Amino acid sequence: MQESAIEAVVFDLDGVIVDSEHVWDAAREALARERGGNWHEGAQGDMMGMSSVEWSRYMHEVIGLKDPPEEISAEVVRRLQATYQEELPLVAGAAEAVARLAERWPLGLASSSNREIIDLVLDLSALDRFFRVSVSSEEVPRGKPSPDVYLEAARRLGADPARSAAVEDSRSGILSASAAGMRVVAIPNKRFPPNEEALAAADVVITSITELTPEVVEGGHLRAGDGP
């Protein structure tokens, strides 16, 4: 059997494993309106991929909440935890896809979510047993679309980023994984679809996580849209 060119796979969390971007959006918007912030239509797009340090500062400085960024982040996390404890919005087919790939490769998680949220989701979903490492972008210098969180996940897995694959759904996430030098499997977020620039940076685009198989992960090595 030919040796795989891929030695590890790193998943995003929000939008890939949990259908949660709109949950984050609702929690941040509600907090902003309750506390006199100036919420605007582009706020969610601006904050997608930001680490908790970055988006809480954005809500303080741009949205205009008077609370310090640390308290903004903590309050949004409390609201997310309450929502998830009541009902975890697990993407249909995500658990099965994770299990499929875990049979073949060591798995990591590279997420913009706070550490508390990552751990809660993995615990509630019982997916923690499949992931050898998980990294929150609050644990690295820069959030997505910078490559930091993916590079750190690969480092903790002991894997070469150039021989690793990432599974992403958003513009910032696709660009982050691509900048890390990984093979990128994109599953475009239906609520907040990535633009053409981001999709062009993916190696393969599928419509659902139910299509995510080892064959898709290992498939051609050309960037989407490239010729032979």
Where does a domain end: 55, 86, 117?
Answer: 86
What's the CATH number where 119 sits? Answer: 3.40.50.1000
Distance CA 172, CA 111 (A): 11
- Are residues 115 and 180 both part of a single domain? yes
Q: How many CB atoms are closer than 10 A to CB 118? A: 22
Which pLDDT score is estimated for 48?
83
- Are residues 118 and 76 both part of a single domain? no
Distance CA 125, CA 190 (A): 22
Q: Count the alpha carbons within 13 Å of 173 in the hemisphere toward its beta carbon.
A: 32
Where does a domain end: 86, 115, 131?
Answer: 86
Q: Which two tokens stand for residue 35?
A: 């506390």
Torsion of CA 174, 137, 219, 157, to 10 degrees: 160
Task: Provide the domain limits for residue 209.
Answer: 8-19+90-218
Distance CA 175, CA 184 (A): 9
Q: Check whether 191 has a pLDDT greater than 90.
A: no
- Are residues 102 and 173 both part of a single domain? yes
- Each residue of 9-54: pLDDT tens digit? 999 999 999 999 889 999 999 999 999 999 999 998 899 878 899 9
Question: Number of structural domains, the chain?
Answer: 2
Q: Is residue 225 part of a domain?
A: no
- Each residue of 89-126: pLDDT tens digit? 999 999 999 999 999 999 999 999 999 999 999 999 99
The model's pTM is 0.90
Q: Is residue 14 part of a domain?
A: yes
Q: Is 9 helix (H, G, I), strand (E, B) or coil?
A: strand
Where does a domain end: 40, 66, 86?
Answer: 86
What's the CATH number where 36 sits? Answer: 1.10.150
